[in-house]
Amino acid sequence: MRLADSIPVLCVGCRRAGAVLCTGCHEFVLRSRVPRTGTCLDDDLVALGPYEGPLRSAVQVLKYREATSVATLLGRMLAEECRRELDSTSAGSVVAIPTARSRRRWRGYDQAELIAQAVASHLGIPRARVLARRCDVSPQTVLDAELRRSLPRDVFHLDRLPDSHVVLVDDVVTTGTTMATARRALETAGTRVTCACVAVTPRRAGRRPPMVP
Ligand SMILES: [Zn+2]
């Protein structure tokens, strides 16, 4: 018996032994609907659910540790959601939002790519590397939403010509600005873009500090 076989698989949501995502946590994710507001993508975004509970734990496992089994599971769920929600059957390939080079170097892998790869294999289409970052911006987590909105719009450029319809994948969408920017880059080539992400950060009221007279 290999050592890996003797280590019990723990649920990323509740840490119970048995599966990557236990039946209870899986059902919780399926039940939690995403409010289709709060991002600049509005209704054009396919997402598994809000960035909270078991979904948040699953994404965090990916953010800080390469976990192919978690990426495969999330990718399969997202592919099913894409099939259900949109006419993604005409999509020719899956494109991941490229992670900033500095973060990628630090982690040694790209979680959006892991998820995109899983989405692609479940949709039965290839993953295409057509997007590149023009410049390295600071990690989103330390950027305030207002500041993120003010970033240059052409952060992404096309490395090669995309298919006529692609599924654009990221792990978490907060304001939607990054994904909208990437979508715009793809649309300049006349490509139809289906945006998909694992989780959407719920919009919190009162994020803007009150004006001091
Ligand atoms: Zn669980």
Task: Give residue-wise pLDDT tens across range 157-170.
Answer: 898 899 999 999 99
CA 165 to chain centre: 18
Q: How confident is the model at residue 183 (pLDDT cuts 50, 70, 90)?
A: very high
Residue 130 CA to ligand 1 center (angstroms) comes to 36
CATH of domain 34-200: 3.40.50
Instruction: Compute the distance from residue 29 Cα to the ligand 1 centre, in Å.
Output: 10
CA of 72 to the centre of ligand 1 (A): 17
**For the ranges 11-15, 49-53, 108-112, 175-179, which has the lowest average pLDDT?**
108-112
pLDDT average, residue stretch 34-44: 65
Q: Please give the model's pTM, rounded to 2 decimal places.
A: 0.80
Q: Which residues surround ligand 1, an ion (CB under 5 A)?
A: 11, 13-14, 22, 25
Sign, CA torsion 34/172/182/151: positive
CA of 69 to the centre of ligand 1 (A): 15
Q: Domain map of the chain by residue range?
A: 34-200
Please give the distance, rounded to the nearest whole angstrom, from the Cα atom of residue 58 to the centre of ligand 1. 10
Dihedral (Cα; 173, 176, 178, 181), 10-degree rounding: 140
Confidence band for 211, pLDDT divided at 50, 70 and 90: very low
Q: How confident is the model at residue 88 (pLDDT cuts 50, 70, 90)?
A: low
Q: 14 CA to middle of ligand 1, Å?
A: 4
Neighbour order of strands in the sheet with 192-200 = 45-50, 192-200, 165-173, 93-96
Q: How far apart are CA 171 and CA 142, in angstroms?
A: 17
